[in-house]
């Protein structure tokens, strides 16, 4: 995940490559789309157990300061 969000855009900027930067943005947007589909699938499969897990876990980035 960090490769997609940090390393590839950084390499694209250093290499002055708009293809790498554009691919990184598209990859990020696709990831955001699929994370919601996966969330819905996990909710259907695991039900209340997954809902309890989701309440205490950030969806995208780990955040030690996130309030549960």
Residue 4 is encoded by which pair of tokens?
A: 């997609």
Under the banding of pLDDT at 50, 70 and 90, the label for residue 66 is: low
User: What domain count does the chain have?
Assistant: 1
Residue 60 resides in a domain: no
Residues in the chain: 68
Supply the range of the domain harboring residue 35.
2-55
pTM (two decimals): 0.54
Residue 26 resides in a domain: yes
Residue 43 is encoded by which pair of tokens?
A: 């909710």
Under the banding of pLDDT at 50, 70 and 90, the label for residue 49 is: very high
Residue 9 resides in a domain: yes
| 59 contacts 43 by C-beta, under 8 angstroms | no
Residue 14 resides in a domain: yes
| 12 contacts 24 by C-beta, under 8 angstroms | yes
pLDDT at 1: 54
Reference 27, options 45, 46, 12, 40; nearest CA is 12
Residue 65 resides in a domain: no
Residue 22 resides in a domain: yes
Under the banding of pLDDT at 50, 70 and 90, the label for residue 16 is: confident
Under the banding of pLDDT at 50, 70 and 90, the label for residue 18 is: confident
């Amino acid at each position: 995940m960090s490769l997609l969000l940090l390393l590839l855009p950084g390499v694209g900027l250093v290499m002055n490559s708009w293809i790498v930067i554009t691919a990184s943005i598209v990859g990020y947007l696709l990831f955001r789309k699929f994370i919601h589909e996966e969330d819905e699938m996990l909710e259907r499969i695991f039900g209340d157990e997954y809902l309890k897990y989701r309440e205490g876990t950030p969806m995208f980035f780990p955040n030690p300061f996130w309030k549960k």
